[in-house]
Amino acid sequence: METKIGKLLTWLNESPSFNISSKIGIHETPHTGRGVILTNDKLHRNEVIISVPSTHQLNFHTVLYHISKYNTDINLLGITIPRSTENDKNYLKDLNRNDPRFFYYSQLSQEFLVSLSSFQLLSLYILSEWILLPYWSQNNSSDEYESDIKPIQSFWQPFFDVWPTKLELSSFPAIWDCDPDSYYKYLLEYLPFETSINYKRISNLIQIDWKVIQPVLSSWIDHMNSQQINNGLNCVLPTISDLYYQFLHIYTIINSRCLYAEVPLKSDDVKNNFTLVPYVDFLNHTSKADGHCIPSLNKLKKVKSCGIGEFQIRCGSMGYKMLKEEIFLNYGAHSNDFLLNEYGFVISDDKNLDWNFVNISNSVESLLENNSKMIKFLKENDYWGEYTINYDSISYRTLIALSLLVTKDVRRVEKLMQGLISEEFFLPKINLLLKSILTNYKTKYTNNLDYLLRTPIIEENTFCRQNVISLIKGTLKIIDHHLESM
Ligand SMILES: C[S@@+](CC[C@H](N)C(=O)[O-])C[C@H]1O[C@@H](n2cnc3c(N)ncnc32)[C@H](O)[C@@H]1O
């Protein structure tokens, strides 16, 4: 990995706008992968730690910019390569005339590309540059008599080379679900309810994105196969199902490494607002919300530049003083359920107690099942679903739904909603019902935990099972805390 990080830094240093503090370096642990540490001196509040230029980030704008090198029909002012005969001549000088991307990227219309979400465009582009380009270029070596042979290699190769392997990124429940051969599929049935809801939501998004990009990939594979026949060659080419597995890996890479950044062309949907930033993406997460690193995007002023702006990381208020101390970024106020689903890890429970919660919606909703009037009332008042409890309290939504269930007193519950009656009036009344609901969850989750602790782990990535165990233990901790106080 050291050599790969060296190459990454050489690539980043090609840009005069790249800056990195000489006080930091990368370390690696089996549990957290790569992370950034203090290697000498001290880092002080507000000190700039890393600045990554716009040109070296992967996002909706930079991808379109790079595709437009090979597809001259793509023309978006301020985003793609400005078209003029002179300019075209200049950048074409730097490209290999036999580069297969001239063919493949020309198959993509501007209308299609702009219609894609950030996830769809980036996963299609990364699949092309990282996985397919080596196949495309193997039969397309340059004319040996050409004096200016340019190697056919992705600009982003040094970035791809430092990304985690499939094995390192195997602890994503949605991937256990979407990968038909996943070893970890059995874990899905042991997940707490809140985690199941989220992995199903993500699986669904993955399937939607795959459906959008799959036809492009299939047509490219057809072309690769017919080219192979025409050229009388016999190389093993990827199939569409090979590309599906690669897509799942790329999906986890994007999901676990993207950083919030406004993407002007796609700002209508917040899910499109992200950028992938080399080196910054080595920063691991801390559940401590304040004091650690501060990210920012300095938007580009020049219309002709590539990308959305320089990404900067500054030192937070606590600073870093101890040698080898890890430098962290807070990814957000995330529960362990969210962290597992979106990033494939969990934080030891005590450190994440403030953000964890238990979702008891399926029990509450099934108790309400035969009461259409109550359901209608809750829906009309926007209190239907998402019934949760955290360590110290039960959510207001839960209090409303349980109070209605127990008292059946619509008028008083309305007053509770309006803040005219205190929670204290209802809390003793719902106690018994809540106790019985939580006891049922406790029995189920304790059985799940016992099974996972009892049976030996035979799979390659032991963290997958350990993460589920931590998640269940965290859920039981919240449930027990409530049961003890009842
Ligand atoms: C943005 S990357 C950070 C760099 C990453 N460790 C690597 O090796 O490239 C996010 C990923 O790092 C790991 N990670 C981040 N924070 C972690 C933490 N506190 N505990 C365990 N793993 C963590 C998870 O695999 C997560 O998906």
pLDDT tens digits, residue range 200-250?
999 999 999 999 999 999 999 999 999 888 888 788 899 999 999 999 999
**Measured from the CB, is residue 344 less than 6 Å from ligand 1?**
yes
What is the overall mean pLDDT for the chain?
A: 92
Grade residue 139 by pLDDT with cuts at 50, 70 and 90. Answer: low
Tell me what pLDDT residue 462 has: 87
Tell me what pLDDT residue 149 has: 61
Question: What is the distance in A from the centroid of ligand 1 to the CA of 351?
Answer: 16
Residue 331's contacts (CB-CB under 8 Å, 6 or more residues apart) are: 285, 339, 343
Tell me what pLDDT residue 84 has: 75
pLDDT tens digits, residue range 165-214?
999 999 999 999 999 999 999 999 999 998 999 999 999 999 999 999 99
Question: What is the distance in A from the centroid of ligand 1 to the CA of 168?
Answer: 10
Q: Which atom of ligand 1 is nearest to the CA of 285?
A: 16
Question: What is the distance in A from the centroid of ligand 1 to the CA of 344?
Answer: 8
Residue of 310 and 149 predicted with greater confidence: 310
**Measured from the CB, is residue 284 less than 6 Å from ligand 1?**
yes
**Measured from the CB, is residue 31 less than 6 Å from ligand 1?**
yes
Q: In the chain, what percentage of residues exceed pLDDT 70?
A: 96
**Measured from the CB, is residue 282 less than 6 Å from ligand 1?**
yes
Tell me what pLDDT residue 145 has: 46
Q: How many other C-beta atoms are found inside a 10 Å radius of the C-beta of residue 76?
A: 15
Question: What is the distance in A from the centroid of ligand 1 to the CA of 458?
Answer: 24
**Measured from the CB, is residue 89 less than 6 Å from ligand 1?**
no
Grade residue 458 by pLDDT with cuts at 50, 70 and 90. Answer: confident
Secondary structure (H, E, C), the chain: CHHHHHHHHHHHHCCCCCEECCCEEEEEECCCEEEEEECCCCECCCCEEEEECHHHCECHHHHHHHHHHHCCCCCCCCCCCCCCHHHHHHHHHCCCCCCCHHHHHHCCCHHHHHHCCHHHHHHHHHHHHHHHHHHHHHCCCCCCCCCCCCCCCCCCHHHHCCCCCCCCCCCCHHHHHHCCCCCCHHHHHHCCHHHHHHHHHHHHHHHHHHHHHHHHHHHHHHHHHHHHHHCCCCCCCCCHHHHHHHHHHHHHHHHHHEEECCCHHHCCCHHHCEEECCCHHHCEECCCCCCCCEEEEEECCCCCCCCCEEEEEECCCCCECCCCCEEEECCCCCCHHHHHHHHCCCCCHHHHCCCCEEECHHHHHHHHCCCHHHHHHHHHCCCCCCCEEECCCECHHHHHHHHHHHHCCHHHHHHHHCCCCCHHHHHHHHHHHHHHHHHHHHHHHHHHHHHHHHCCCCCCCHHHHHHHHHHHHHHHHHHHHHHHCC
pLDDT tens digits, residue range 461-472?
889 999 999 999
Mean pLDDT, range 9-14, rounded to an integer? 96
Question: What is the distance in A from the centroid of ligand 1 to the CA of 76?
Answer: 35
For residue 280, pLDDT over 70 is answered with: yes
Grade residue 437 by pLDDT with cuts at 50, 70 and 90. Answer: very high
pLDDT tens digits, residue range 296-310?
998 876 656 688 899
Largest Cα–Cα separation, the chain:
88
Q: Which of 2, 5, 31, 32 to mutate to test the pocket of ligand 1 (most atoms within 8 A of CB)?
A: 32
For residue 435, pLDDT over 80 is answered with: yes
Mean pLDDT, range 47-59, rounded to an integer? 96
Q: Which of 343, 464, 466 to mutate to test the pocket of ligand 1 (most atoms within 8 A of CB)?
A: 343
**Measured from the CB, is residue 30 less than 6 Å from ligand 1?**
no
pLDDT tens digits, residue range 343-382?
999 998 677 888 899 999 999 999 999 899 999 999 999 9
Question: What is the distance in A from the centroid of ligand 1 to the CA of 32?
Answer: 5
**Measured from the CB, is residue 33 less than 6 Å from ligand 1?**
yes
Question: What is the distance in A from the centroid of ligand 1 to the CA of 282?
Answer: 7
**Measured from the CB, is residue 159 less than 6 Å from ligand 1?**
no
Question: What is the distance in A from the centroid of ligand 1 to the CA of 87?
Answer: 41
Residue with the smallest CA separation from ligand 1 atom 20 is: 32
Mean pLDDT, range 157-163, rounded to an integer? 97
Tell me what pLDDT residue 302 has: 63
Tell me what pLDDT residue 148 has: 55
For residue 449, pLDDT over 90 is answered with: yes
For residue 146, pLDDT over 70 is answered with: no
Tell me what pLDDT residue 152 has: 87
Tell me what pLDDT residue 303 has: 57
Residue with the smallest CA separation from ligand 1 atom 27 is: 343
Grade residue 150 by pLDDT with cuts at 50, 70 and 90. Answer: low
